[in-house]
């Protein structure tokens, strides 16, 4: 099964001399949180029959979390599992801003579960989830021994200057996701394009995606299709109602 996170290159940055500190931002609980927690407790005990009516009662609460667990129940129910219905529940939860539903939705579109495979829409939702994840945390990179702050891009920049396509791709991701440096989609687009011109296939896909969605560039379907075809023959730019 295709994992859209593989395409994004979503992986931890780690080095023996680095320590990454994530500081979560608190979120206020919703009025129906007690009911939701009761339903989740039943869900994790696999008492789906008892959890489902509670979740239906509060299905629009908690920024999509109740809908997400309804989708999970539907997904894991061996008899009544309906992939198209599960996809719809994930979509409703994602539209309400629930991040795990966005990742599930990205997986469904990437693998054609309950719908035709749609890699571009999968990437739309993966990017939305990544953006939410980056806004929930403040990230600092420090030296383990001295505690002094470090520039997380310096190592990649040195390698990129030597034409290392993986380094160019990692720099593109850093500026695209805005986690280890300030978000700059135009700079990300430039790094993706440099890597793509040197034959990096994931960067070719992202360059095509950026042109298709008008991210970092003016939208250009012809250029989008040229790069998307390099990544996967027959992959074409299609409009999205859910532009990230």
pLDDT in tens, 133-158: 765 555 444 444 555 555 667 888 99
Beta bridge partners of 139: 22
Q: Greater confidence, 188 or 7?
A: 188
Look at residue 7 in the predicted model and tell me its pLDDT: 59
Residue 111: both structure tokens together: 């693998």
**Could you please report the per-residue DSSP string of 83-135?**
HHHHHHHHHHHHHTT-HHHHHHHHHHHHHTSSS---HHHHHHHHHHHHHHHHH
What are all long-range contacts of 204-209, with beta carbons under 8 Å and residues at least 24 apart? 204/228, 204/230, 204/231, 205/7, 205/119, 205/231, 205/232, 205/235, 206/172, 206/176, 208/235, 208/237, 209/120, 209/123
The top-level CATH class assigned to 31-134 is: mainly alpha
Q: What is the mean pLDDT of residues 85-114?
A: 95
Q: What is the pLDDT of residue 145?
A: 55
Where is mean pLDDT largest: 7-11, 86-90, 130-134, 178-182? 86-90
The three-class DSSP label of residue 204 is: helix
Residue 25 has a pLDDT of: 43
C-alpha Rg value of the chain to the nearest Å: 20
The pTM for the full model equals 0.78
Residue with tokens 């509670």: 54
Whether the CB-CB separation of 82 and 104 falls below 8 Å is answered with: no
| Average confidence (pLDDT) over 199-207 | 97
Please check the confidence at residue 84 and state whether its pLDDT lies above 90: yes
CATH class of the domain defined by 151-231:
mainly alpha
Mean pLDDT of 22-48: 78
Provide mean pLDDT across the span 213-242: 92
Mean pLDDT of 51-63: 93
Q: What is the mean pLDDT of residues 202-225?
A: 96
Residue 172 structure tokens: 């593109």
Helices (H), the chain: 4-8, 33-44, 48-57, 65-76, 83-95, 99-111, 119-135, 154-161, 165-177, 185-197, 201-213, 221-231
Q: Which of 1-10, 71-80, 156-165, 218-227 has the lowest mean pLDDT?
A: 1-10
Residues 172-182 have a mean pLDDT of 87
pLDDT value for 23: 43
What are the residue ranges spanned by the domains of the chain?
A: 31-134, 151-231
201: CB partners within 8 A, 6+ apart:
230, 231
Which of 72-81, 106-115, 230-239 is predicted least confidently?
A: 72-81
Common-topology check for domains 31-134 and 151-231:
yes
């Amino acid at each position: 099964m295709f994992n859209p996170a593989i395409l994004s290159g979503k992986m931890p940055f780690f080095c023996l001399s680095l320590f990454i500190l994530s500081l979560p931002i608190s979120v206020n609980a919703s009025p129906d949180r007690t009911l939701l927690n009761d339903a989740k407790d039943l869900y994790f005990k696999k008492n789906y029959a008892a959890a489902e009516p509670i979740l239906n009662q509060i299905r629009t609460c908690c920024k999509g979390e109740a809908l997400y667990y309804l989708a999970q129940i539907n997904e894991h129910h061996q008899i009544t599992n309906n992939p198209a219905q599960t996809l719809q529940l994930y979509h409703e939860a994602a539209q309400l801003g629930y991040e795990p539903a966005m990742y599930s939705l990205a997986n469904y579109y990437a693998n054609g579960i309950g719908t035709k495979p749609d890699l571009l829409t999968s990437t739309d939702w993966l990017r939305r989830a990544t953006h939410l994840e980056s806004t929930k945390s403040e990230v600092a990179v420090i030296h383990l021994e001295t505690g002094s702050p470090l520039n997380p891009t310096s190592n990649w920049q040195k390698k990129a200057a030597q034409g290392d396509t993986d380094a160019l791709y990692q720099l593109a991701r850093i500026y695209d996701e805005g986690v280890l440096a300030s978000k700059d989609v135009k700079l990300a687009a430039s790094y993706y394009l440099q890597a793509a011109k040197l034959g990096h296939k994931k960067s070719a896909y992202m360059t095509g995606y950026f042109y298709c969605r008008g991210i970092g560039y003016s939208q250009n379907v012809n250029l989008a299709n040229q790069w998307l075809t390099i990544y996967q023959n027959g992959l074409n730019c299609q409009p999205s109602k859910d532009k990230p």
